[in-house]
């Protein structure tokens, strides 16, 4: 027989995971959890308390968002992965996508994230790199963050506080940070090695008879740009010098263009051309000239043509990056690049795990590179 009390019994409701339940499970106040998430505490939260709160958030797979405030304003809220260009975090999204090293990668990542997770990739700038609040506003609604290049310690801290999965992409074997780390750096990292690109290209040229080498660097080096210079540009100069010194059968010349008035990526070829067009000895004494990237290589090609030399016949020319803007020019530039699809696949593989259980394992995933042999070499 069914009793009245049995008939009136209601099914148990599944407990809702929110800031209140996180605070209760962690044994702290909701204010403490809120301060941790938003970086607004006046008195530092102890390491033990921070770890306890973040562990509860990870265990519950809880990530705070600004959904409620956006819905109150009747805004559409879609799941997004925020893309930060860490080396130039204040760069606006339009210029970021136009950057030849980023444009195609962003397109591939967006396609793979949509197909695999139903998430949209959103390139975003940070209004003030020195402001924790500015970083917080930039990533507050993110399901995950992808940082390309240098990683700011404030971004690292906020992704941990808000339990947002983070993956770092870069062109160096070791992550580069901006700011002072209080604890050893532990991030999941997908990378290729720009310095090894130069060595691989030189070996390719040497195997085809090159003995008189020249290297035209980027303008973005420490000598021209003390703060924020490209680490990989300096690494390539060091690699070129080291390689030539280690091979007695080679001679090598190094040319570094000056700081240009216009620092846009598309101007780099023009700057290289203007700098070396009068350097007759440099242009005529080399059998192979290696450009820092495809734009620099195009500047070299223009300077050689001014001297009546045929790139690819009289002097071989190579670049790096496989820039879409340079693939179909005449002559097409021999170049080297990392596998963009392999990189996107590696990033999505890490995010698949982290979206389910956001624990940074300090993964280091190298991405292979390949040479694309074209008319100039």
Q: What is the CATH number of the domain that holds 146?
A: 3.40.50.2300
- Distance (Å, rounded) from C-alpha 196 to C-alpha 73? 50
pLDDT recorded at residue 91: 87
The stretch 111-138 carries a mean pLDDT of 93
pLDDT tens digit string along 320-361? Answer: 999 988 888 889 999 999 999 999 999 999 999 999 889 889
H/E stretch holding 295 reads: helix 294-306
Residue 376 placed within a domain: no
CA distances from 262 to 219, 271, 347 (A): 11, 9, 33
The stretch 209-233 carries a mean pLDDT of 87
H/E stretch holding 145 reads: strand 144-148
**Could you tell me if 110 and 213 lie in one domain?**
no
Q: Answer yes or no: is pLDDT of 312 > 50.
A: yes
Q: Which of 65, 372, 311, 336 is nearest to 200 (CA)?
A: 336
4 pLDDT band, cuts 50/70/90, is: very low
Q: Which of 186, 82, 218, 56 is nearest to 137 (CA)?
A: 82
Q: Global pTM?
A: 0.79
- Distance (Å, rounded) from C-alpha 350 to C-alpha 156? 16
Tell me the pLDDT of the chain averaged across its residues. 87
Segment of 49-53, 85-89, 192-196, 240-244 carrying the highest mean pLDDT: 240-244
Residue 16 placed within a domain: no
Pair 311, 319: CB distance under 8 Å: no
Residue 124 placed within a domain: yes
**Could you tell me if 211 and 168 lie in one domain?**
no
Query: Beta-carbon neighbour count of residue 208 at 10 Å?
Result: 12
Q: Answer yes or no: is pLDDT of 76 > 90.
A: no
pLDDT recorded at residue 12: 52
**Could you tell me if 207 and 305 lie in one domain?**
yes
pLDDT recorded at residue 75: 43
The stretch 259-283 carries a mean pLDDT of 88
pLDDT recorded at residue 6: 46
- Distance (Å, rounded) from C-alpha 170 to C-alpha 1? 69
Q: Which residue has the tokens 């179909």?
A: 328
The stretch 135-164 carries a mean pLDDT of 93
**Could you tell me if 198 and 237 lie in one domain?**
yes
More confident residue, 27 or 181: 27
Q: Answer yes or no: is pLDDT of 264 > 50.
A: yes
pLDDT recorded at residue 15: 64
Residue 58 placed within a domain: no
Residue 33 placed within a domain: no
H/E stretch holding 114 reads: helix 103-117
**Could you tell me if 310 and 350 lie in one domain?**
no
More confident residue, 35 or 228: 35
Residue ranges making up the domain that contains 319: 194-337
**Could you tell me if 92 and 221 lie in one domain?**
no
- Distance (Å, rounded) from C-alpha 29 to C-alpha 175? 36
Q: Answer yes or no: is pLDDT of 272 > 90.
A: yes
107 pLDDT band, cuts 50/70/90, is: very high
**Could you tell me if 171 and 186 lie in one domain?**
yes
pLDDT tens digit string along 60-73? Answer: 888 776 543 343 34
Written as one string, the DSSP assignment of 211-222 is -EEEEE--S-ST
The stretch 207-224 carries a mean pLDDT of 91
Residue 56 placed within a domain: no
Pair 64, 158: CB distance under 8 Å: no
Residue 332 placed within a domain: yes
**Could you tell me if 178 and 265 lie in one domain?**
no
What percent of the chain stands above pLDDT 70? 92
pLDDT recorded at residue 79: 86
**Could you tell me if 204 and 305 lie in one domain?**
yes
Q: Answer yes or no: is pLDDT of 5 > 70.
A: no
Total structural domains within the chain: 2
88 pLDDT band, cuts 50/70/90, is: confident
**Could you tell me if 232 and 293 lie in one domain?**
yes
More confident residue, 42 or 165: 165
**Could you tell me if 255 and 181 lie in one domain?**
no
pLDDT recorded at residue 78: 56
Pair 261, 223: CB distance under 8 Å: no
Q: Which of 162, 154, 188 is nearest to 86 (CA)?
A: 154
pLDDT recorded at residue 68: 39
What DSSP designation does 132 have?
Answer: H
Residue 109 placed within a domain: yes
pLDDT recorded at residue 1: 47
Written as one string, the DSSP assignment of 183-203 is S----EEEE--HHHHHHHHHH
74 pLDDT band, cuts 50/70/90, is: very low
More confident residue, 347 or 15: 347
**Could you tell me if 134 and 181 lie in one domain?**
yes
- Distance (Å, rounded) from C-alpha 3 to C-alpha 8? 9
The stretch 13-36 carries a mean pLDDT of 84
Q: Which of 300, 275, 281, 298 is nearest to 215 (CA)?
A: 300
- Distance (Å, rounded) from C-alpha 98 to C-alpha 294? 15
pLDDT recorded at residue 40: 84
pLDDT recorded at residue 367: 95
């Amino acid at each position: 027989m069914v009793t009245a009390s049995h008939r009136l019994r209601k099914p148990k409701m599944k407990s809702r995971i929110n800031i209140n339940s996180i605070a209760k499970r962690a044994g702290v106040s909701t204010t403490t959890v809120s301060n941790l998430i938003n970086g607004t505490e006046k008195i530092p939260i102890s390491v033990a308390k921070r770890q306890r709160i973040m562990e509860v958030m990870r265990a519950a797979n809880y990530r705070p968002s600004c959904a409620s405030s956006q819905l109150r304003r009747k805004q559409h809220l879609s799941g997004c992965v925020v893309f930060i260009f860490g080396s130039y975090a204040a760069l606006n999204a339009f210029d970021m996508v136009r950057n030849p090293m980023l444009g195609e990668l962003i397109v591939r990542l967006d396609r793979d994230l949509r197909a695999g997770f139903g998430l949209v990739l959103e390139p975003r700038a940070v209004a003030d790199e020195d402001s924790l609040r500015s970083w917080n506003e930039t990533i507050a609604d993110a399901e995950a963050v992808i940082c390309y290049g240098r990683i700011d310690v404030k971004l690292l801290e906020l992704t941990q506080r808000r339990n947002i999965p983070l993956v770092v992409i870069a062109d160096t074997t070791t992550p580069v940070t901006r700011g002072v780390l209080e604890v050893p750096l532990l991030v999941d990292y997908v990378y290729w090695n720009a310095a090894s690109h130069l060595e691989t290209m030189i070996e390719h040229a040497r195997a085809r008879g090159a003995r008189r080498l020249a290297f035209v660097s980027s303008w973005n080096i420490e000598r021209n740009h003390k703060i924020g210079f490209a680490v990989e540009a300096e690494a390539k100069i060091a690699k070129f010098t080291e390689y030539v010194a280690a091979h007695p059968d080679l001679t090598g010349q190094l040319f570094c263009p000056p700081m240009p008035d216009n620092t846009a990526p598309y101007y780099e070829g023009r700057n290289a051309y203007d700098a070396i067009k009068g350097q007759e000895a440099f242009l005529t004494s080399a059998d192979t000239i290696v450009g820092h990237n495809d734009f620099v290589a195009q500047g070299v090609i223009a300077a050689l043509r001014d001297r009546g030399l045929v790139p690819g016949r009289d002097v071989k020319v190579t670049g790096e990056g496989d820039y879409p803007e340079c693939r179909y020019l005449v002559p097409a530039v021999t170049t080297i690049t990392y596998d963009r699809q392999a990189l996107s696949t590696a990033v999505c593989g890490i995010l698949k795990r982290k979206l389910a259980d956001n624990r940074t394992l300090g993964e280091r995933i190298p991405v292979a590179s390949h040479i694309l042999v074209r008319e100039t070499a």
